[in-house]
């Protein structure tokens, strides 16, 4: 593949700049000699069409939700309405200085306050913080709240956090970062928490449980009420990972199921484009018992004014500068207000219907290790498709069919896992075409396994040594010394 440096010719320019007012010499005089470069920078010298073509070609090599289906399990790569981008770019929002005093940013505080109120209502929980910048950051905040709650009650002997073996990897990491010991709970044959194992694990040293609801197999814990009752009965609290909230949005509330702490990925469920590294937002809602420990400052309404509330002596403190990633909150508020109650119910209905439809189209060809009615995603296994064929081969071949691969090798309890989340925003024709591609690949695995082993065939680069790419990233172009 050629780079922009391989194009153009010396002296060629994409734009003609007006001549300098002062001579180059005069300008240089103002720069200390030590800071002046000895040689001119090595910039590409290209004409405007060459420049435009270069960047347009690059943009066409990118794959995103705006170009095609993106069934990355657990990530909710759904289509996000463009209207929200317009709103987030309104100068009154995007141009605000984060240090403005409250009286000069009442509108922004109103957005944050209203979003907080709505999230409390949607989750059925009476406290909220919008500060965390991502789901994992919400988990960390939640674990800090749990720890502070225990300290305040003098229960520092509760050092263990229970985690199902299907948990998202960030869950045990967050618990461990706060100093808890992680205890793994086995899943039963249904792919749910094994109640007997839970009962055995509970005791006076248990701080709480972290549950992904629905779990990473896309299965809703049918015993959820019994689980939260057992944990509460043993003196612990229940953390729900809400990254999969699109599975029951508008239909059920974690607060009603016994959750004490719940994080929401605004960038997954509530419409902020993600996948490029952020920004996101991971607000946390909490039960009554945890409200005193929430981060400062809180945003409160007094009459028709919005103020910052620093008077929270038991608070865990700040977890993010200012109020978190504000423009993500703007998009989320727009999304909730646009959809309303009925629209949010349609989101979860669509997500669940799409996942079960796609699973039905594939389950005679791919193994389904935990075969139940699923929520927003499902997990297949690529094992047993053909001689020496692995899931990695299947998804590399999928790229030749023009699809982004699903999540693979996660959750860890499924060998050769393919974790597929279609989301609620894809039309039936796309799901049909995706299923047809996966079915064709299963046939190829038997008839022409080499085709899979050598895939992808149509991408700018073929199979990379992924481990080496991570360990020895070469991200610079090396020039010969001149």
Ligand X SMILES: *Cc1c(COP(=O)(O)O)cnc(C)c1O
State the Cα–Cα distance between residues 335 and 246, nearest whole angstrom: 13
**How near is the Cβ of 168 to ligand X at its closest, in Å?**
4
State the Cα–Cα distance between residues 335 and 99, nearest whole angstrom: 27
Among 84, 148, 168, 331, binds ligand X (CB under 6 A): 168
By CB under 6 A, residue 377 contacts ligand X: no
**Which x/- pattern, by CB under 6 A, does the window 198-217 give for ligand X?**
--------------x-----
Q: Which residue is at the shortest CB distance from ligand X?
A: 135
Task: Give the residues across from 302 on adjacent strands.
Answer: 305
By CB under 6 A, residue 280 contacts ligand X: yes
Task: Candidates 14-22, 238-246, 424-432, 444-452: pick the segment binding ligand X (CB under 6 A).
Answer: 238-246
Which parts of 64-83 interact with ligand X (CB under 6 A)?
A: 74
Is 217 or 234 the residue whose CB approaches ligand X more closely?
217
Is 8 or 282 the residue whose CB approaches ligand X more closely?
282
**How near is the Cβ of 241 to ligand X at its closest, in Å?**
5
Is 115 or 163 the residue whose CB approaches ligand X more closely?
163
122: number of CA atoms within 13 Å, CB side? 34
By CB under 6 A, residue 243 contacts ligand X: yes
Residue 123: name the closest of 287, 272, 316, 323 by CA. Answer: 287
In 14-124, where do the E strands start and end?
none
If one counts every other C-beta atom within 10 angstroms of the C-beta of residue 66, the result is 11
State the Cα–Cα distance between residues 381 and 367, nearest whole angstrom: 5
Task: Candidates 237-245, 310-318, 334-342, 440-448: pick the segment binding ligand X (CB under 6 A).
Answer: 237-245
Residue 149 near residue 196, CB atoms below 8 Å: no
Size of the site for ligand X (CB under 6 A): 13
Is 282 or 297 the residue whose CB approaches ligand X more closely?
282
For the packed helices 170-177 and 135-152, what is the interaxial angle rounded to 10 degrees? Answer: 40
From residue 456, alpha-carbon distances to 307, 444, 453 in Å are 55, 14, 9
**How near is the Cβ of 243 to ligand X at its closest, in Å?**
3
**How near is the Cβ of 21 to ligand X at its closest, in Å?**
49
**Which x/- pattern, by CB under 6 A, does the window 104-143 give for ligand X?**
------------------------------xxx-------
For the packed helices 391-400 and 428-447, what is the interaxial angle rounded to 10 degrees? Answer: 120
Question: Which residues have a Cβ under 8 Å from the Cβ of 171 and sit 6 or more positions away?
Answer: 139, 163, 210, 212, 241
State the Cα–Cα distance between residues 467 and 328, nearest whole angstrom: 33
Residues that bind ligand X (CB under 6 A): 74, 134-136, 168, 170, 212, 241, 243-244, 265, 280, 282
């Amino acid at each position: 593949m050629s780079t922009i440096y391989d194009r153009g010719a010396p002296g060629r320019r994409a734009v003609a700049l007006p001549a300098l007012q002062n001579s180059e010499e005069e300008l240089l005089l103002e720069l200390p000699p030590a800071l002046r470069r000895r040689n001119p920078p090595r910039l590409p010298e290209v004409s405007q069409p060459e420049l435009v073509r270069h960047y347009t070609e690059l943009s066409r090599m990118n794959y995103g939700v705006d170009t095609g289906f993106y069934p990355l399990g657990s990530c909710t790569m759904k289509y996000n309405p463009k209207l929200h981008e317009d709103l987030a770019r309104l100068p009154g929002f995007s141009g605000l200085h984060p240090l403005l005093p409250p009286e000069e940013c009442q509108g922004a505080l109103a957005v944050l306050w209203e979003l907080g109120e709505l999230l409390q209502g949607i989750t059925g929980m009476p406290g909220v913080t919008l500060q965390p910048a991502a789901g994992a950051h919400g988990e960390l905040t939640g674990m800090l709240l749990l720890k502070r709650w225990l300290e305040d009650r003098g229960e520092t002997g509760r050092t263990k956090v229970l985690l199902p073996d299907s948990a998202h990897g960030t869950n045990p990491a967050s618990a461990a970062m706060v100093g808890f010991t992680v205890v793994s709970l086995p899943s039963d044959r249904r792919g749910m928490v094994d109640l007997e194992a839970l009962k055995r694990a509970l005791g006076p040293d248990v701080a709480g449980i972290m549950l992904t609801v629905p779990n990473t197999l896309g299965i809703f814990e049918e015993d959820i009420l019994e689980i939260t009752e057992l944990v509460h009965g043993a003196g612990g609290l229940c953390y729900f990972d809400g990254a999969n909230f699109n599975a029951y949005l508008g239909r059920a509330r974690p607060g009603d199921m016994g959750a004490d702490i719940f994080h929401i990925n605004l960038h997954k469920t509530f419409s902020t484009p993600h996948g490029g590294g952020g920004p996101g937002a991971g607000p946390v809602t909490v039960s009554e018992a945890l409200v005193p420990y929430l981060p400062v400052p809180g945003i409160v309404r007094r009459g028709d004014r919005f103020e910052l509330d620093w008077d929270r002596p038991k608070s865990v403190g700040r977890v993010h500068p200012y109020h978190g990633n504000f423009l993500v909150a703007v998009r989320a508020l727009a999304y909730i207000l646009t959809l309303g109650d009925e629209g949010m119910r349609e989101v979860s209905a669509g997500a669940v219907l799409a996942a079960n439809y796609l699973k039905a189209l594939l389950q005679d060809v791919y193994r389904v290790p935990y075969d139940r009615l699923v929520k927003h995603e499902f997990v297949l296994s690529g094992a047993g498709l053909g001689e020496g064929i692995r899931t990695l081969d299947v998804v590399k071949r999928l790229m030749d069919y023009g699809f982004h691969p699903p999540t693979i090798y996660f959750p860890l309890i499924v060998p050769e896992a393919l974790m597929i989340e279609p989301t609620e925003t894809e039309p039936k024709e796309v799901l049909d075409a995706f299923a047809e591609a996966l079915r064709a690949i299963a046939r190829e695995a038997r008839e022409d396994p080499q085709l899979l082993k050598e895939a992808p065939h149509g991408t700018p680069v073929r199979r990379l040594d992924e481990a080496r790419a991570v360990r020895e990233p070469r991200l610079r172009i090396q020039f010969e010394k001149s």
